[in-house]
Structure 1
Amino acid sequence: MAESLLSENCGKLRELMDEALKLYYKVEDSTEATSSDTVQGYITRGIEICEEATRLVSYAGIFSRNEGLSDMATADIQYFLLPVLLGRFTTQLVSRERRDLIRISEIYYRDFLQRTNDYGLSNYTFKDESSDKKEKKERQKSIGDDFKFRDMKLKQFGDKKKYQTLVTDLKKRLDEADDSTRREYYISLLNYFICIAIEELNFLDTEKDLLERMQKLGPGSSKGRDKCPPQKKTMQAVIITKDQVQKAIFGAGYPSLPTYSVQEFYDQRVHDGIFPDPTKPKTGPMSLQEASLAGLSLDDEKEKEIEDEETKIEKDDEELLRRKRDDDEYKDDHRRGWGNRANRS
Structure 2
Amino acid sequence: MAQAEPGQAERLPDLFENVWKAWEFLESTQEDTNSYSVQKEAIKGLTDGEKAIKMVNDLALFSSNESIEEVTTNELRYMLLPAFMGYFIQKRVTKDRLQLVRTGKAYFEDFLRQCKTYRVVKVNAHLDDDEKEEVSENGVVPVARGPPGMMKMISDRESKIKAFKEQKELEVRLAELKQYVDKEHVDDEVKRDYYTTLLKKWVNIASEDLSGINFEIQMLELREDTQSDAEARKEDYKKKKLPPMRPFIITKDMIQKQVFGLGYPSIPTLTIEEFYEQKLKDGTFQPPMAGHSMQDWAENPELDKEDREREDEEKEKKIEADDPEDLQKARNWDEWKDEHRRGWGNRKNMG
Q: Offset of 1:127 from its aligned partner?
A: 2.5
Equivalent residue number for residue 155 of structure 2? 148
For 1:153-164, list aligned pairs within 5 A: 153-164=160-171
Give the counterpart letter for 2:176 in structure 1. Answer: D
SS in 2 for 1:52: helix
Return closer, same or farther for 1:72/1:208 CA change in 2, 3 Å cut-off: same
Equivalent residue number for residue 18 of structure 2? 19
Equivalent residue number for residue 120 of structure 1? 119
Contact 2:98 2:221 in 1 (8 A): no
Q: Offset of 1:136 from its aligned partner?
A: 12
SS in 2 for 1:173: helix
Equivalent residue number for residue 34 of structure 1? 33
Contact 2:102 2:217 in 1 (8 A): no
Distance 1:82 1:197 in 2: 12
Return closer, same or farther for 1:66/1:220 CA change in 2, 3 Å cut-off: closer
Distance 1:41 1:96 in 2: 17
Residues 38-89 of structure 1: CA deviation (Å, up to 9, x unaligned): 1000000000111111122122221123322111111000000111111111
Distance 2:67 2:103 in 1: 27
For 1:194-205, list aligned pairs within 5 A: 194-205=203-214
Whose Rg is larger?
2
Identity of aligned residues (%): 27
Equivalent residue number for residue 312 of structure 2? none
Distance 1:69 1:144 in 2: 33
Equivalent residue number for residue 77 of structure 2? 78
Return closer, same or farther for 1:65/1:213 CA change in 2, 3 Å cut-off: closer
Q: Offset of 1:171 from its aligned partner?
A: 1.0
For 1:134-283, list aligned pairs within 5 A: 138-139=147-148, 142-174=149-181, 175=183, 176-215=185-224, 218=227
Q: Offset of 1:138 from its aligned partner?
A: 4.3
Equivalent residue number for residue 322 of structure 2? none
Give the counterpart letter for 1:169 in structure 2. Answer: E
Return closer, same or farther for 1:26/1:219 CA change in 2, 3 Å cut-off: farther
For 1:312-327, list aligned pairs within 5 A: none
Size of the alignment, in residue pairs? 207
Give the counterpart letter for 1:82 in structure 2. Answer: L
Distance 2:71 2:146 in 1: 42
- Structure 2 unaligned runs (5+)? 1-7, 133-143, 231-351
Return closer, same or farther for 1:96/1:85 CA change in 2, 3 Å cut-off: farther
Give the counterpart letter for 1:194 in structure 2. Answer: V
Give the counterpart letter for 2:80 in structure 1. Answer: L
Distance 1:45 1:26 in 2: 12
Distance 1:92 1:137 in 2: 36
Q: Offset of 1:211 from its aligned partner?
A: 2.3
Distance 1:115 1:71 in 2: 14
Return closer, same or farther for 1:58/1:151 CA change in 2, 3 Å cut-off: same
TM-score by length of structure 1 reads 0.55
- Structure 1 unaligned runs (5+)? 1-7, 222-345
Equivalent residue number for residue 89 of structure 1? 88
Equivalent residue number for residue 258 of structure 1? none
Return closer, same or farther for 1:146/1:183 CA change in 2, 3 Å cut-off: same
Q: Offset of 1:210 from its aligned partner?
A: 2.5
Give the counterpart letter for 1:191 in structure 2. Answer: K
Distance 1:167 1:75 in 2: 17
Give the counterpart letter for 2:73 in structure 1. Answer: T
Q: Offset of 1:204 from its aligned partner?
A: 0.4
Distance 1:159 1:41 in 2: 33
Equivalent residue number for residue 240 of structure 1? none
Q: Offset of 1:106 from its aligned partner?
A: 1.1
Q: Offset of 1:177 from its aligned partner?
A: 2.1
Distance 2:65 2:229 in 1: 52
Return closer, same or farther for 1:36/1:137 CA change in 2, 3 Å cut-off: farther
Contact 2:42 2:91 in 1 (8 A): yes
Give the counterpart letter for 1:160 in structure 2. Answer: Q
Give the counterpart letter for 1:152 in structure 2. Answer: S
Distance 1:127 1:119 in 2: 18
Residues 6-65 of structure 1: CA deviation (Å, up to 9, x unaligned): xx98x8211221221121121122101111111000000000111111122122221123
- The structure where strand makes up a greater share of residues is 2
SS in 1 for 2:48: helix
